[in-house]
Structure 1
Amino acid sequence: MKLNDSLTSAIASLASSTIYNNTDSSNSNTTVSMEDFLKILSATMSNPSIDDSSSSGSSSSGSDYMSELAQYESLNTLTEMNQTLTASVELQQQQEALGMLGKKVTLTDSGSSVSGTVDQVKFENGMATLVVNGKEYELSSLSSVSENS
């Protein structure tokens, strides 16, 4: 079976951009750009029988292939949104922690209450911890904050 020229060029474009993306950065993910996705969609619609399944009596067609590509693109979009949201939460947490420097706080540590002044803020893997009385505490253990008088 001979593939339509537009389908061949769309797949070649996708392959070359994927190879380029993988060599461009050591940690980049392979993604299908919207332009590549639309090229393949257009080519698939103009050539509905990508594989030879129509001659074998199978009901599978290019629409199954397109459905999988759409799901793949949706997953990529959700992954990017998750990364953006995670970065936003980390930044907000860091700003909140920095705002507590020099303030009197009360924290809960293993069921007991600890009070003191925030002497330092530490960051590890994007997450902030407060240093009170020489010991590190997560922001989630914070009970109250007040001005140090």
Structure 2
Amino acid sequence: MGWMDAIMTTAMALWPWSGGYHRERRLTKQLNRQWMLRISQAEKIRPCVLLQSSTLVNVIERFTDAQSVVTLTVWRSIRPTVLREVAQYRAGMRALPLHKNCTDTVQCPFCPRSTCPRMFKGGVALETHVRQKHPDRNHLEIVKKSRSR
């Protein structure tokens, strides 16, 4: 059972390392969140709106995974894209593909609306529908269903 001993030795060596890794990752996540809040204040955009930018969310996730803090230089490079995505969000636009965590009710922009519009809950369902029924149009933008007040 030599292979089992090797696995156990590796597992025992990783145990103390994993505690430090998770502590550092938590700290990095907290620092990146504080950074995002400072950017939110500087740009005068609410944090929940700023987090609608898939670019910003992806950058924060990647930097947190790498245990790195997002810097001002990184913000300067992604700022135009993030602000464009925020403006599209405020205008009710969503770019395909939608973020995997999107839970908005969205309408398929390509299906006929005359009788019964095709509505989908979340980005995965709409993305699947567009990929299957409208493969030539999956790069276009869609409109979020507006709430009636």
What's the TM-score once normalised by structure 2's chain length?
Answer: 0.29
Larger radius of gyration: 1
The structure in which a higher percent of residues are helix is 2
What's the TM-score once normalised by structure 1's chain length?
Answer: 0.29
Larger RCO, structure (CA 8 Å, separation 6 or more): 2
